Amino acid sequence: MIRRVSLIASIVIFLIAAAAVTIRIVAAPSAGRAASERLGMVYPAVIAHRGASYLAPEATAPAYILARELGADYLELDVQRTSDGVLIAHHDDSFERNTDVAERFPSRAKNRVADFTLAEVKSLDAGSWFNALHPDRARRAYRGLKILTLEEVIAIASAAGRPVGLYIESKGPEMYPGIEQEIVGTLALRGRLDPRRLVFQSFSRESLKAFAKAAPAVPRTYLVDEKMERDSGWNGLVGAAAEIGTGMGPVGYVAYPWNLGRAHRAGLVVHVYTVNAPWQFSLLNFFGADGFFSDRCDLLMEYYGRKPAAAPGDILEKFNY
């Protein structure tokens, strides 16, 4: 009986080991590393999704300062344009979810970002919602935080004592003709058009083509969600990404090792979004991810064995938050 149990256990262990080896071969992680190195991109990459957005209101100054000081490789942001032509960092199509726009401009609460001037945008409170939703992470200094311009995010990244990259998405680019050229122009003016510390990203092929024309040396990531994968098929998306960019950004639900392997074999870097739990880091890293977009850059740094210089609370207090 003991011999039989031992034999079964040995077979199970062998099958698990064989499956693990097969997954790694299929995922081709070495090709992802090689692609990252060829492009001068950080590997593996810690991409702070709208800053350290678990610990501070997304896309605000403390979120980006905290991510910078924790050691994130890239500060991630979505860029849109105000009605008077200023580029700002904001994710949603409207301001309704995470500002006091309903109190400030009740008749326009559902209006899109492009319907507001910069002065109106700057009058909004972009921090109090976080305190109300997350009392365990609330801070008095978060009340009244302002939405940032692209130039202000650039300034935060540039104030670091080390190289900090920017990972910029053109958000709803069909609503903002020419926004890619404006983004590139702003970065160039501020001396931040460095392909080693900059990545453009979009769900739009046309937007990525515009970025390629305006700044061909800068890496470009084709973002992919579940619907796109169902509608176009992974192989078709890989082909499109290889044609218009240098990488793919799949949602975690489609980041299977065989999918990542196909992308790697096409010479593409793969950064998976939005991944926040250590077990997810472990699983998807094993599947071959070259880095992650994460709200928890603090945990991702720890997972990669990169100890921050200070605790998040101490960093926030140092910068008066």
134 is catalytic: no
Residue ranges for the chain with pLDDT beneath 70: 1-28
Catalytic annotation on 49?
yes
Strands 45-48 and 220-224: unpaired
Report, in angstroms and rounded to the nearest whole number, the Rg of the chain calculated over CA atoms. 21
**Beta carbons of 50 and 63 less than 8 angstroms apart:** yes
pLDDT of residue 18: 39
pLDDT of res. 135: 98
pLDDT in tens, 134-179: 999 999 999 999 999 999 999 999 998 888 999 999 999 999 999 9
Per annotation, catalytic residue among 90, 91, 264, 271: 91
Domains, the chain, with CATH or none: 29-82+148-318 (3.20.20.190)
pLDDT at 309: 84
CA–CA dist 148, 150 (Å, integer): 7
Other CB atoms within 10 A of residue 247 CB: 26
pLDDT given for residue 27 in this prediction: 61
pTM score of the predicted model: 0.93
**C-alpha–C-alpha distance, residues 318 and 66, integer Å:** 10
Q: Which two tokens stand for residue 151?
A: 């130039």
Residue 278 in tokens:
């250590």
Q: Which of 49, 90, 264, 271 is catalytic?
A: 49
Q: What letter does residue 83 receive in the DSSP assignment?
A: T
Q: How far is residue 263's CA from residue 269's CA, in Å, rounded to a whole number?
A: 7
Q: How far apart are CA 317 and CA 315, in angstroms?
A: 5
